[in-house]
Chains A and B, each alone.
Chain A
C-alpha cells in the first residue's frame, strides 16, 4: 500500500513570493491534515479535512495561508506571500478516525 505522497520535497523561495504544496493521502483515508513542524518541535496542526470539508482551521493564518481539498482526495496548501518565519517542514497526514500517517513533508526555506 502506498503511503502519503507529498511534493515538492524541498522548496526555496524569496520572501513575498507564493508557494504551494501538494498532498495525496493514503487511499480510503477520509481525514487529511496539514501540519507545520519547526526545527526541534513537534508538529502543529494547521488544518484538518473530513472529506472535502475543513473541520478545524483554527490554527491556519488565514491572511496568507489557504488550503483546498476539492474532491475529497488530494489537497493543496498555499502561502501567499511567504514570510521569513514560514520556513519550516510542512507535513501532510491522512488517517481514519484519530490514527494518522504522515507523508515525508516539504521543507520550505524562505530567504
Chain B
C-alpha cells in the first residue's frame, strides 16, 4: 500500500509560489516526510525533510499539518528550472538501509 498520495500533475506560473500537497494519513509517530525532485534526464535531488515542525531551507519550505496526516512543499518563487517530478516520501529515520521508496510523484510544470 502506498504511504503517500500526491496529485499527478500541477501547473504554476513563473514567479509565483508553487504549493505541492502530499497526503500521508497513515504516518506513524517516528516517520519523517521527505521531498526529492527529479528534473528531466537527471537523478533525483534532495529538497527538504521534516517530522512535525515546519521546515525551511534555501530551496523550499515544508508545512506539516498538526495531525501530520498531510503536508505541503512550497517553492516560494517558482522558475522554469523548477519544472520536475516531485516525490513525497514517508519513512522512519531508524529504518535499516537508508532506503528510499519513491511513489509516483507530482509533475510540476512551471510556465512563463
Q: Do A and B make up one complex? A: no
Instruction: Give residues in B with beta carbon < 8 Å to A.
Output: none
